[in-house]
Amino acid sequence: MPRLVNRPPAYGLHRGSGQARIKVNGKTTYLGKYGSPESKAKYAEIVASLAQPQLDDATTFVEPVPGKSLLVGQIIARFTAHARTYYAASRELANITWALRPVAERFGELPCDQFGPRKLREVRDLMVERGGSRYGANKVAAMTKRAFNWAASEELCSPTIPMALKTLAAIRQGRTKARENEPVGPVDDARIDATLPFLTAPMADMIRLLRLTGARPGEIVNARVEDLDRTDPACWWLKPKTHKNAYRGQGRAIPLGARAQEVLLPYVVKAGKSGRLFAVCRVALSQAVNRACVKAGVEPWTPRQIRHSVATEVRRAMGLEFSQAVLGHSRVDTTQHYAAMSADLGLEFAKRFG
């Protein structure tokens, strides 16, 4: 069913040149070297510009006039400009701009002092009516509260506005007609094995590494030679500099046992002293897996489901603590659906599973 919020254009890879690219309305824009912070910042900037309401630049960033309220669209534009710098090397900017787009489209020209919980509920309810999920509708509401909370801290709006918005409770499961997203579950080895022959060799090896490590797809896709610690032949460590929880100051170390090392070694040799191990982007990997499932005649699955499979297997065989070590979780409750990586636990995992 149609949704109010669509996915942003993909951050893709042009294999011939090794450059990142984005395609908008049939036009391809090259962003620079794939995986570089500069290319990701440019990607985020383009996605942000697509999500902006059509406001005149002269009125969007003018200094607030005492006694006169900024428009909702101006608040969103300023928050996006802040996010463009603050989240330059991550995908968060894309999430922010696309989550705020329905609010900008519906109430962009409304003075922000007239925007309250009822208006936000109107946007949320419209998403649900158009087939949006409960999660997506709640995400839009939460991001809007976040934007106005920032605006209040910058003295761009009255602090009473975010305080009032916070009174709008999230949609609870089963309380409305909002669609529920299907939970991400594990994928069995039979389906993975049936799909591998229909993937290119690098993509098939990436899937094998996901199965042997329990890593997030992005951690394998963006793996670089300089992120590898090969000091101990019994267990290599992949230590990505950028990962999901890096902004929290958390480290990430992924143990690589003998089988994972065997899969990875040819790509290490080919890459040399530095550089990415795989010239494949995350979106391309997911799309390739989907096509391979069709060719293999199996129920479709996604690369991130493999992480759930590994978590289930490791927890069943070795307990919750080992599951924490493998997944890089620091909270027990997150593992049960992330504690610092223990070197001893990681080594034991590499010996038994990787």
**What is the spatial distance between Cα 212 and Cα 192, in angstroms, rounded to a whole number?**
12
pLDDT at 267: 93
Q: Is 51:80 a contact under the CB 8 Å cutoff?
A: yes
CA distances from 33 to 20, 49, 243, 330 (A): 6, 21, 19, 33
Give the Cβ contact number of residue 181 at 10 Å: 9
Q: What is the pLDDT of residues 31-88, one digit of tens each?
A: 888 877 777 777 776 776 665 544 443 334 556 667 688 999 999 999 998 988 887 6
When pLDDT is cut at 50, 70 and 90, the band that residue 340 belongs to is very low
Question: Helices (DSSP H) in 116-257: which residue ranges?
Answer: 117-129, 134-153, 160-165, 189-195, 201-213, 217-221
Give the integer Cα–Cα distance in Å for 95 and 183. Answer: 20
pLDDT at 20: 84
Nearest Cα neighbor of 263 from 304, 207, 218, 313 is 207
**pLDDT at residue 151 tops 60:** yes
Name the nearest CA neighbour of 69 among 151, 156, 164: 156
- List the single range of 51-60, 235-244, 271-280, 296-305 with lowest mean pLDDT: 51-60
pLDDT score, position 303: 92
The CA distance from 34 to 280, in Å, is: 9
> Which of the two residues, 46 and 111, has the higher pLDDT score?
111
Q: Which amino acid is at 192?
A: I
Residue 166 or residue 94, greater confidence: 166
The yes-or-no verdict on residue 285 having pLDDT over 60 is yes
**Bridge partners of residue 30, in order along the sequence:** 21
| Total residue count of the chain as it appears in this document | 354
Q: From CA 137, how far away is CA 142, in angstroms rounded?
A: 9
Q: Does residue 283 or residue 152 have the better pLDDT? A: 152
Q: How far is it, in rounded angstroms, from Cα 205 to Cα 260?
A: 9
Query: How far from 269 is each of 224, 235, 264, 273, 288, CA to CA, in Å?
Result: 12, 18, 9, 8, 25
- Map out the domains of the chain with their CATH numbers: 12-165 (no CATH), 189-352 (1.10.443.10)
Partners of residue 249 on adjacent β-strands:
none
For the residues of 261-276, what is the DSSP string, one character each?
A: HHHHHHHHHHHTTSSB
Which amino acid type is present at position 64?
P
Share of the chain above pLDDT 90, in %: 34
Structure tokens at 216: 């997030």
Task: Report the phi/psi class of residue 324: left, alpha or beta, with left for phi > 0 and alpha for psi in -120 to 50.
Answer: alpha
Cα(157)–Cα(259) distance, integer angstroms: 57
Condensed to tens digits (0 to 9), the pLDDT of residues 154-200 reads 999 999 999 999 999 999 888 778 788 777 778 889 999 999 999 99
Q: Is residue 343 packed enough to be buried (19+ CB in 10 Å), middle (13-18) or exposed (0-12)? A: middle
